[in-house]
Structure formats: structure tokens, C-alpha cells
Amino acid sequence: MQEDSLFNLNKVYIDVLVFHKKDGSALPKEMIWEDGRRYVIDQVTDTRRRASLKAGGVGIRYTCIIGGRQSYLFQEADRWFVERKIRRRRQAVPARPAGSTETAAEPVRASGN
């Protein structure tokens, strides 16, 4: 893990394979994640100067399509980073007692007749 990443766990510096055009623009083609996994960038749909609100930092933000999903890739000076996606845990639903047919919407009522 790079030194800067120790202070901001949402910012992940990665390796990027880039095609440099004769007009001086850069077109990222593939991202290499910190564990070595490679992701081919299918399409770059937008390029503009933006701040990363999740990870901090300002640079060129590339809106990329990777495997049918949109992702942001940032070029900050001479380094590339992505915003780490934090998965939220689902809250556990309390289990019903064994043999119970009760639902939250309609509790079973004992008949008084």
C-alpha cells in the first residue's frame, strides 16, 4: 500500500495502461488493481477536471465503462487513482421462532370462540 493510501483509505493509487494521442490527450485502456487484477476499460464517456468527493484530490476525472458499469478514474498530476467502493452490510432480519407462521404484517391471532 502506498504511503498516501495509509491516510485516506478511500483513495487507491493504481497502475493504468494509457494510450497517448498525438494531440497530447491521454486515453486510459486498462486499470490494474492493487492486487494485480486487470480491468479493461470498454469506453471513456467523459473527461473533465473534477475533485474526488469521496477520496479527496483534484485532477482529470475519466468516466469509464468497465464490464457494463460506470466507474471514475482520476489522473492526479502523474499518478492515477480510483475511489475505493465500500460495500455496506445489510442489516440482519430477526429470525422467526421455529414453527412460527407469524408475519410482520399480519400476526396470528388466537380465536376466542
Tell me the per-residue pLDDT of 43-92, one tens digit each, with 9 for 90 and over.
999 999 988 877 878 899 999 999 999 999 999 989 999 988 766 666 66
Residue 26 forms part of a structural domain: yes
CB 75 within 8 A of CB 56: no
| Percent of residues, the chain, with pLDDT higher than 70 | 68
The distance of Cα 52 from the centroid of its chain, to the nearest Å, equals 12
pLDDT of residue 105: 52
Using a 10 angstrom Cβ sphere, with 0-12 exposed, 13-18 middle and 19 or more buried, the burial of residue 85 is exposed
pLDDT of residue 56: 78
Residue 95 forms part of a structural domain: no
SS3 at position 51: strand
Overall domain count for the chain: 1
Residue 103 forms part of a structural domain: no
pLDDT band per the 50, 70, 90 thresholds, residue 100: low
Does residue 6 surpass a pLDDT of 60? no
Residue 106 forms part of a structural domain: no
SS3 at position 113: coil
Per the prediction, the chain carries an average pLDDT of 81
pLDDT of residue 30: 98
Residues spanned by the domain of 74: 3-83
